[in-house]
Amino acid sequence: MTQSTCIVWFRRDLRVDDNPALAKALCHCGPVLPVYIFAPDEEGDWAPGGASRWWLHHALSSLGEALEALGLPLVLRHGSSLDALRELVAETDADAVFWNRRYEPAIIERDTAIKQALKDDGIEAWSGNAGLIWEPHEVSNQSGKPFRVFTPFWKHLRTLPPATPVTLPDTKATAPDPLPDSLALDSLELLPTLDWDAGFPKRWTPTLEGASKALHAFLDGPVDHYEKKRDCPAEAGTSRLSPYLAHGQLGPRQVWAAVHASGAVDRGAGYKYLSEIAWREFGYHLLVHFPHTPFEALSDAYRRFPWEPDKAALEAWRRGCTGYPIVDAGMRELWHTGWMHNRVRMVVASLLVKHLLQPWQDGARWFWDTLVDADLASNTLGWQWSAGCGADAAPYFRIFNPMLQGEKFDPDGDYVRRWVPELAKLPAEHIHTPWEAPAEVLRKAGVTLGESYPEPIIGHKAGRQRALDALAENKTRNG
DNA sequence: TTTTGAGTTGTTCGA
DNA sequence: GTCGAACAACTCAAA
């Protein structure tokens, strides 16, 4: 007698190792059908942005190869997830669908409905955990409430055993016969039509092999100097694992275990990095417990903040034409590589929401569209933190001084030179403040302010004061 | 029960 | 030049 097929529905867990849904399916005895369904309309206004889709294309290609090696071709579908799953159930006579959970509010709602619908059809529907070390509903403070401050959250996590990676069973699986039709990857049209992504392949290897190499390259060296060098954008001091984590080519459990196995924690280093993994967990904790936060401030006091939306200011920021070199370098790094160094993300965010008084949601949306590591939980947490309106927010008076940040963290100006070539010939002394450079220095460097490079979009002192005034005004309004 | 201290990522000002 | 204080309001846990 033939066994029924089990469908593995891949989503943001585009890997073979440490994949509970795949592992469970391989224990199921019957044929296994891996499927990915591209359903951007179901993402609740957070369909993958352009950079994320570019990565997704390559991640799917890589996953397809890895599954092929197991003898399980990946089937691609497009459109309604429930319809596609039902079609595949019918085509393969499947009796089970397994997947790994996602935590975005719209996806939780969709998946809950799909699970019920499949059960009503008489199909076993099961979801596992591939995306987090500690799931949001397992974690609460002593009052039984969700945490709103990182440090107690992190202290609490350290009292809990971390989930460990799942290993695949040593069983051979077969694909269903006949195999259902698959769309061609290209037909999903995930790659940009204009030539915007030209610089991405130079920076990234968006494959499973690339994920593994990036993890080990980080653990073989940079992790030991992470605490100091992670703030210097000109250096490769950070892990650069975020896009692999965002697409599930690496799971946080794997990263956690690898950091420990590398001995970095025992050497005293590594701990700071693990706390960054915990920040990712904190982002998901907040997203699940406060599901309105991708759209609205967590803090009630910021719901009617006197933002001053200004299309021209927003556009200057997006294009990297604010006249603040460190900010413009960051925005251009983002555009050209789909990624921005974390220190610089804070600086550009501070300028947008404080000096320019633009709604943080506009910045979050631009990051969403342009980051290869776009992740709703981390993006929301980061922007609400910068705007001061979220959990464990930056204090209102923390208004970054873009010149000081540049001088502190890019002292030689190498980061600015790399991404703002029109300033490349300025000496380090003036590279973060070109408007204060003597005329002769500017002339020699070939810089004409207002022509080859803009004047600051707003003076630092004036922008800072306007932000403080808006914050005072907000306090009067709300409270 | 109430109080107290501390909290990712900073800047400015005045001594 | 360096250094400490001040810049809210609220969360959380320990005392």
Q: Report if CB A464 to strand B is under 7 Å.
A: yes
At A242-295, the pLDDT tens digits run 999 999 999 999 999 999 999 999 888 888 999 999 999 999 999 999 999 999
What is the second-level CATH architecture of the domain A5-130?
3-Layer(aba) Sandwich (3.40)
At A79-89, the pLDDT tens digits run 999 999 999 99
Cα separation of A185 and A57, whole Å? Answer: 7
User: What's the pLDDT band for A202 if we cut at 50, 70, 90?
Assistant: very high
Give all strands of the β-sheet with A124-128 in edge-to-edge order: A75-78, A32-38, A5-10, A94-100, A124-128
Instruction: Provide the pLDDT for residue A1.
Output: 45
CATH code for the structural domain at A300-478: 1.10.579.10
At A137-156, the pLDDT tens digits run 999 999 999 999 999 999 99
Q: List, by residue range, all CATH 3.40.50.620 domains of chain A.
A: 5-130
> A317, A335, A360, A419: which is the annotated catalytic residue?
A360
A335 is catalytic: no
Q: Å between A469 CA and C4 C1'? A: 26
Q: Which residues does A370 contact at the CB level (< 8 Å), separation at least 6?
A: A49, A50, A51, A334, A335, A338
Which of the following CATH numbers is that of domain A131-163+208-289: 3.40.50.300, 1.10.3720.10, 3.90.79.10, 1.25.40.80?
1.25.40.80
User: What's the pLDDT band for A301 if we cut at 50, 70, 90?
Assistant: confident
Q: Which residues does A415 contact at the CB level (< 8 Å), separation at least 6?
A: A232, A233, A234, A326, A329, A341, A344
Average pLDDT over residues A193-200: 92
Quote the pTM value.
0.97
A134 is catalytic: no
A279 is catalytic: yes
pLDDT of A300 above 90: no
pLDDT of A2 above 70: no
Cα separation of A234 and A393, whole Å? Answer: 27
Which 3 state secondary structure label does DSSP give A283?
Answer: helix
- Those nucleotides of strand B lying less than 7 Å from any protein Cβ are 7-12
User: What's the pLDDT band for A459 if we cut at 50, 70, 90?
Assistant: very high
Q: List, by residue range, all CATH 1.10.579.10 domains of chain A.
A: 300-478
Residue A268 or A114, more confident: A114
Q: List, by residue range, all CATH 1.25.40.80 domains of chain A.
A: 131-163+208-289
pLDDT of A315 above 90: yes
